[in-house]
């Protein structure tokens, strides 16, 4: 009997199932159940336990089965295997836990705006707020779902955000924590049986990223490249992609009133063009500035009847008068807002577009040694795509409180389960076929490292991004960076030329040189470890800093 059948039979026998509730009723249920409070502006405010304010990568597992084993890169530290036997235990425990609940919520949605590859997903949970989150983030069933290559391959997601696993039951099967206890939470994906379980993680992002990982596994076999990116389209049909890890500015920079947004985080690139996976956005809210990020701020903070609003604010300070303080980080630096794309002022309703003319790789360099923008030739672009360098920022994962240098291939390694040549090969062929221009954008620090220099001003970054998209950087002179092998523009309309060269922003040039060489050494060491035996083409390998 399939897992989907087991779940459906449990639901049929349960008796109290709220299936595909009207949105207003989901919102009201979340309030009535005290899963959230209504803020003064009508948004819903919720808080998770301290261990659930971000993703928990070490508790995110993939079932190792013979059918899919060779397709998954088990060398990646993010693809942590779990046995079939342990998954069966988790599945039984999850179904039993759901069976014991007074009321269950079920939503049937899809991931993918292009119905040619929309993936049906059924979410079963005991939390109305989780159901509402899927209503925000996953798309309504399209009328022509039957044309999807996945029409008969639906995915089932079981979510028990506030339940905890029996530690003794999983002794020796799940990871052991620093205190010697077994972890009591698990986020598990069975790619063969098409079942996911979120058990004990109340962070809404666990639901979203689990399904993103599923899409990233399933799409390549259908000839579609999944990308961790935002996408927008200009009035002239110019399509741009912005790739980057959490905290690098995908959501902020893509929410541009002059360009129609397709989506802020997850897209597929097929032979037909670009299509968003999602129905909404999930943006960081900490220190959000309404002047610098008006689109995101207004999407969450506009006033309205809470039954019409439905935006979810997770782990932000809320005062007794119902007003948020997004500058207060005492709860977590990872406060988040989930809202419908339709809350933004300028979106492309279909969330599909043609092939991208401009691709931006976003990095938040806490070393302060990368230029605010640089151009990449095809070989350089492939190298930076493989490396996916950034500084992991506070709040994106549990335990991260200071920026940490990280290399996350394809700017999304935790969510890319397949072998690296799959994604790299597909991007390389598409960039060449559609002549996409690629830029590296540093949204991190300038004038010194984190703690000494200053974070790039969002207005400066917006000006540089606009110049890249408008073609203003096509004819300017470039200087080859001998350390990082990128091309630094010597001028940009409306931007001081001094800020373009990172070395010139440091008072102590020797300190810059030492810091830059240190980072280049980290690049070389990581490349050798990750790709030294992978047979990467010499023209790409030669672009690695430090080599």
Active-site residue, from 114, 265, 365, 472 = 265
CA 330 to each of CA 34, 49, 526: distance values in angstroms, whole numbers, following the listed order:
22, 13, 34
Q: DSSP assignment, residue 296?
A: H
Among the listed residues 208, 284, 309, 336, the single catalytic one is 336
Any catalytic annotation for residue 55?
yes
| Among 302, 262, 236, residue whose Cα is nearest residue 112 | 262
Do 349 and 430 form a contact (C-beta atoms < 8 A)? Answer: no
Q: CA dist 274 to 61, 130, 373, 440, Å?
A: 29, 28, 24, 20
Residue indicated by tokens 């979120």: 198
State the number of CA atoms in the 13 A half-sphere of 342 facing the CB.
11
Q: Looking at 29, 246, 338, 351, which residue is catalytic?
A: 246
- Hey, how many other C-beta atoms are within 10 angstroms of the C-beta on 311? 26
Q: Which of 46, 52, 53, 55 is catalytic?
A: 55
- Using the structure block, give the residue that is written with the tokens 């790789």: 361
Q: Which member of 53, 183, 251, 436 is catalytic?
A: 251
Query: Is 351 annotated as catalytic?
Result: no
* Active-site choice (194, 209, 284, 309): 209
Q: Cβ neighbours of residue 350 under 8 Å, at least 6 residues apart? A: 113
Distance CA 285, CA 273 (A): 31
Catalytic residue among 109, 139, 208, 228: 228
Distance CA(52)–CA(201), nearest Å, equals 5
Of 183, 182, 136, 194, residue with least CA distance to 2: 194
Query: Three-state SS for 209?
Result: helix
Annotated catalytic residue, options 250, 267, 355, 485: 250
Of 459, 458, 495, nearest to 476 (Cα)? 495
Give the pairing type, strands 437-442 and 373-376: antiparallel
Query: What is the 3-state composition of the chain as percent helix, strand, coil, each rounded to the nearest 5?
Result: 35, 25, 40
What end-to-end distance do the CA atoms of the chain give, in Å? 54
> Which residues, at least 6 apart from 278, have a Cβ–Cβ distance to it below 8 Å?
111, 137, 138, 139, 208, 263, 264, 265, 266, 341
- CB atoms under 10 Å from CB of 319, counted, come to 11
250 is an active site residue: yes
251: annotated active-site residue? yes
Q: Cβ distance 278 to 251 under 8 Å?
A: no
| Contact of 123 with 134, CB cutoff 8 Å | yes
89 by DSSP, 3-state: which?
helix
Of 72, 77, 121, nearest to 397 (Cα)? 77
- Which residue is associated with the tokens 């004990």? 200
The CB density around residue 209, as the number of other CB atoms within 10 Å, is: 24
Residues classed as catalytic? 55, 209, 228, 246, 250-251, 265, 336
């Amino acid at each position: 009997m399939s897992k989907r059948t087991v779940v459906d039979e449990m639901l049929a026998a349960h008796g109290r199932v709220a299936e595909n509730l009207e949105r207003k009723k989901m919102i009201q249920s979340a309030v009535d159940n005290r899963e959230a409070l209504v803020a003064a502006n009508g948004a819903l405010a919720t808080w998770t336990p301290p261990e659930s304010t971000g993703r928990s990568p070490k508790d995110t597992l993939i079932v190792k089965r013979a059918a899919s084993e060779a397709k998954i890169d088990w060398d990646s530290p993010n693809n942590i295997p779990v046995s079939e036997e342990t998954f069966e235990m988790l599945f039984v425990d999850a179904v039993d836990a759901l069976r014991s609940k007074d009321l269950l919520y079920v939503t049937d949605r899809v991931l993918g705006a292009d119905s040619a590859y929309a993936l049906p997903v059924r979410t079963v949970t005991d939390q109305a707020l989780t159901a509402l989150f899927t209503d925000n983030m996953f798309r309504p069933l399209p009328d022509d779902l039957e044309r999807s290559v996945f029409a008969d391959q639906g995915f089932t997601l079981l979510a028990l955000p506030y339940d905890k696993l029996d530690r003794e039951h999983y002794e020796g099967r799940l990871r052991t924590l620093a205190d010697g206890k077994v972890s009591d939470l698990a986020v598990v994906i069975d790619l063969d049986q098409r079942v996911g379980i979120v058990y004990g993680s109340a962070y809404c992002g666990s639901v979203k990223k689990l399904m993103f990982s599923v899409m990233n596994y399933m799409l390549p076999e259908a000839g579609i490249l999944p990308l961790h990116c935002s996408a927008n389209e200009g009035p002239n049909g110019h399509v741009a992609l912005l790739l980057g890890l959490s905290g690098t500015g995908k959501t902020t920079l893509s929410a541009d009133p002059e360009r129609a947004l397709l989506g802020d985080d997850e897209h597929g690139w097929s032979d037909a063009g670009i299509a968003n996976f999602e129905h909404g956005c999930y943006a960081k809210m900490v220190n959000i500035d309404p002047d610098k990020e008006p689109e995101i701020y207004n999407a969450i903070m506009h006033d309205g009847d809470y039954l019409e609003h439905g935006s979810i604010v997770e782990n932000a300070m809320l005062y007794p008068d119902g007003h948020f303080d997004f500058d207060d980080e005492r709860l977590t630096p990872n406060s988040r807002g989930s809202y419908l794309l339709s809350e933004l002022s300028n979106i492309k309703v279909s969330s599909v577009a043609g092939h991208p003319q401009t691709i931006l790789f976003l990095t938040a360099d806490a070393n302060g040694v990368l230029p605010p923008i640089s151009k990449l030739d095809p070989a350089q672009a492939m190298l930076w795509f493989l490396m996916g360098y950034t500084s992991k920022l506070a709040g994106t994962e549990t335990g991260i409180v200071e920026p940490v240098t990280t290399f996350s291939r394809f700017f999304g390694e935790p969510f890319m389960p397949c072998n690296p040549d799959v994604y790299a090969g597909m991007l390389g062929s598409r960039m060449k076929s559609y002549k996409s221009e690629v830029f590296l954008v540093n949204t991190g620090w300038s004038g010194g490292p984190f703690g000494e220099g200053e974070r790039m001003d969002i207005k400066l970054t917006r000006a540089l991004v606009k110049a890249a998209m408008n073609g203003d950087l096509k004819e300017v002179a470039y200087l080859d960076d001998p350390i990082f092998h990128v091309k630094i523009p010597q001028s940009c309309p409306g931007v001081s030329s001094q800020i373009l060269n990172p070395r010139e922003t440091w008072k102590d040039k020797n300190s810059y040189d030492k810091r830059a060489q240190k980072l280049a050494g980290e690049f070389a060491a990581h490349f050798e470890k990750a790709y030294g035996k992978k047979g990467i083409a010499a023209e790409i390998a030669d672009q690695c800093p430090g080599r």
